[in-house]
A and B are shown apart, each in its own frame.
Chain A
Amino acid sequence: KQEVTQIPAALSVPEGENLVLNCSFTDSAIYNLQWFRQDPGKGLTSLLLIQSSQREQTSGRLNASLDKSSGRSTLYIAASQPGDSATYLCAVPTFTGNQFYFGTGTSLTVIP
């Protein structure tokens, strides 16, 4: 069974700082990897989907990288803002897409 781990569990940074969130997975035979944002009491918002054939994907101040062979993905947030404060989750599907495995998330606080 795929296991997904996210480190750190919590992170607090001053506004304007660049930061990296980490996601690791045990089974490298993945189809893609998706990063989500979750605000308190809310559902998940998709941020980036990176296919297994890609090495990175960018959207605005966000950049996700994927290294399948080492079982790792990183989410880079540039010039962090207080509005970026949320929990960030990564998820990987089984190859059939029948199930998705989530990490426990990184809770980010950006201090004004």
Chain B
Amino acid sequence: GAGVSQTPSNKVTEKGKYVELRCDPISGHTALYWYRQSLGQGPEFLIYFQGTGAADDSGLPNDRFFAVRPEGSVSTLKIQRTERGDSAVYLCASSLTQGAREQFFGPGTRLTVL
């Protein structure tokens, strides 16, 4: 596609449920990043993929969060046993290669945990 896409755009779930958020990067981009953005804050890094592997997952807040990118393209962020504090906008970005290259962001998924 022309840009980074994310689905769903909005997700409302109940506390304790499992959710999956999807990111489809720009075709050919090998690097993929997930961020979380709370109201009034800048995005906070969660995890970085180079190809299929998670090169840096140090931003994941705890073991309820997990992300995969099995074929080096689409990525899924998975959150188990959701908590109200997980409510935020989850942003995905991709860049052409590894290293500190220009990032292109998707529109985000707004997650609300009731």
Contacts and interface: CB of A to CB of B under 8 A. Distances in A.
Interface stretch (A11-19, A67-75, A101-109): A101-109
B12 to A, nearest CB: 15
Contacts of B99: 31, 96-97
Given A43-B105, A44-B105, A98 B48 contact: yes
B103 A100 contact: yes
Given A31-B99, A97-B31, A102 B105 contact: no
A25 B44 CA distance: 15
Interface string B79-100: 0000000000001010100111
Contact of B45 (A34, A101, A105): A101
Range of interface residues on B (Cβ < 8 Å): 20 to 34
B98 A49 contact: no
Nearest to B6: A43
Contacts of A77: none
Interface residues of A, number: 27
B45 to A, nearest CB: 5
A102 B40 CA distance: 12
A21 interface: no
B42 A89 contact: yes
B42 A97 contact: no
B91 A43 contact: yes
B108 interface: yes
Interface in B36-89: 40-45, 48, 55-56, 58-59
Interface of A: 4, 31-32, 34, 36, 41-46, 49, 89, 91, 93-105
Interface of B: 4, 6, 31, 33, 35, 40-45, 48, 55-56, 58-59, 91, 93, 95, 98-108, 110
Those 7 A-B pairs whose CB atoms lie nearest each other, nearest first: A102-B42, A97-B100, A93-B100, A31-B100, A98-B56, A44-B105, A97-B99
